[in-house]
A = this chain, B = another copy of it.
Amino acid sequence: MTQDTTGDDTTRDVLEVARRAREASHGLALSTRAEKDRALLAMASALLDRSDEVLRANAEDVTRAEAGGSPANIVDRLRLTDERVAAMAQGLRDVAGLPDPVGEVVRGSTLANGLELRQVRVPFGVVGMIYEARPNVTADAAGICLKSGNAVLLRGSSSARSSNAVIVAVLRDAAASVGLDADVVQLVPGDSHDSVDALMRARGYVDVLIPRGGAGLIRSVVEGSTVPVIETGIGNCHVYVDRAADLDKALAIVLNAKTHRTSVCNAAESLLVHAEVADAFLPLVVAALQHADVTIHGDPAFQAHEGVLAATDEDFGTEYLSLDISAAVVPDLDAALAHIRRFSSQHSDAIVTEDQTAARRFVAGVDSAAVLVNASTRFTDGAEFGFGAEIGISTQKLHARGPMGLPEMTSTKYVVTGSGHVR
C-alpha cells in the first residue's frame, strides 16, 4: 500500500470500520441501561480528566484554520475551551440520566387467536453522522447513539480533525474501560470527500446517515446516499401576524424569533403581516427590527418605510442566518398559507392571532415539522421540548420530523409469541 490513499482504498477503509461497527453493535444492542450509563459517565469523566489533550489538539485545528484564513465565526465554532469541554461532559451525563428507549413497548395486544403481539423499540444498529466544524457534536452524537444502542461512525469536518481524533480516542478508551467494545464509537477514516462518498454507499453496513450542517452538505448527502438518510435542519421559518393578532405579542415574537440567535435553524427569516393590521403594525415592527440592527428586505408596503430594502423572490426563499429578514403584507390568511407553502423549508412556522378559527386553519394548512401559535419559532428545539438530548431537527417526513431525541434514534421490531400457532 502506498502513502497515497485512492478512492478505492478509502472505500475499503470505510467499509472496514463499518464492519467493525456492525460487529460491536450486536453486543451494544443487548447492553442494559446500567451498562450504557456506566459508559456514558466514564466518557464524561475521561473528557474532563484528559481535557488538556483535547484542548491541545483543538489548538492545532484553530491554528490551522486561522492560518488558512477561515472567517472568525467559523474559528469560533471550532474553538474548544475548558467550559465547552465541561459542557460536553455534562451533556454525556445528561444523556445517562434519560430513560433508555430500547425495549419500550410501543404497542401491544393479544390477537383473537391468542397470539401476543408487541412492537418493541430496538436500536438501528449502525448510525453514520456527517457534520461540520463544531467538535462538541462528536461527543454529543456519540452519547446519544450509545444510549440508544447504536454504534456510531463519526465523520466530522477536516478542519476539526485533530480535536475529533483525540475526543474519539478518549471516548473509546472510556467505553473499553467499563467493558464495552470500543468500536461502538469510531471516527471515519479519510479527510477527503471520498470518505463521505464511501459512507453514503455503505448500504447494508450503515443503517442510517444523519447529515448536520449547511444546506450544501445536506443536499449532497440526501441526493447521493443509498443509505437511508434523515435530513436535518434547513430553516426558512415564517412568522405570520394575523388580522386578529395581539400586536404586543406579535412584536415580541418577531423580535425574539429573528434576533435571539441568528445562526440557528429555528430563527425566523420571513415576516408576513395581514393587510388589515399593516398600518398599525408595520411602523412598530420596522422600528423595532431596525433598532435591533436587522436589515429588512420588504415588499412595496414595507418599502414605504425608510431603510427597508426591496425583497426579491430569492429573499423570500433564503435562510439568512443573519440579522436580515424578508417581509411582506398579505391580503388574508389564505395568502399567507400560499406564501408559506411556496417558500417555507417546512421547519417551523408561527402564527400570531387571538382568533381560534384562524389558528386552527393555520395549523392545518401549514405542512411543517413544527407549527407554532402565539410562540416564537425558537421553541422548536429538543431541549425546549423536554427531550433532554437532541441529535438534530428532522425536516423530512419519513421516520422522524422535528427535534429528534432518543426514541427517534431507534427502530422497532414486532415480537409475536404463540404456543404452536399456525395459519
Interface residues of A (CB under 8 A from B): 26, 29-30, 109, 111-112, 115, 117, 119, 122, 124-125, 203, 207-208, 222-223, 226, 228-230, 246, 248-249, 252-253, 255-257, 260, 341, 352, 359, 363-365, 367-376, 378-380, 384-386, 396-399, 401-403, 411-423
Q: Dominant SS at the A interface?
A: mixed
A384-B423 in contact given A125-B397, A208-B397, A367-B122 (Cβ < 8 Å): yes
- State which of B246, B418, B423 has its C-beta within 8 Å of the C-beta of A260: B423
Known: A375-B421, A378-B423, A398-B399. 8 other contacts (CB 8 A): A203-B222, A228-B396, A253-B421, A260-B423, A371-B414, A373-B417, A379-B418, A380-B414
A415-B385 in contact given A226-B223, A367-B29 (Cβ < 8 Å): no
Q: Could you tell me the distance between the alpha carbons of A256 and B415 in the complex, rounded to whole angstroms?
A: 19
In the assembled complex, which residues on chain B have CB atoms less than 8 Å from the CB atom of A256?
422-423
Are the CB atoms of A117 and B378 closer together than 8 Å? no
A370-B413 in contact given A252-B422, A379-B421 (Cβ < 8 Å): yes
A418-B372 in contact given A29-B364, A379-B423 (Cβ < 8 Å): yes
Q: Could you tell me the distance between the alpha carbons of A223 and B226 in the complex, rounded to whole angstroms?
A: 5
A351 to chain B, nearest CB (A): 10
- State which of B125, B260, B414 has its C-beta within 8 Å of the C-beta of A367: B125
A304 to chain B, nearest CB (A): 27
Are the CB atoms of A416 and B222 closer together than 8 Å? no
A402-B374 in contact given A26-B341, A256-B423 (Cβ < 8 Å): no
Are the CB atoms of A397 and B380 closer together than 8 Å? no
Q: Which residue of B lies closest to A359 (CB)?
A: B417
- State which of B117, B402, B423 has its C-beta within 8 Å of the C-beta of A414: B402
In the assembled complex, which residues on chain B have CB atoms less than 8 Å from the CB atom of A222?
203, 226
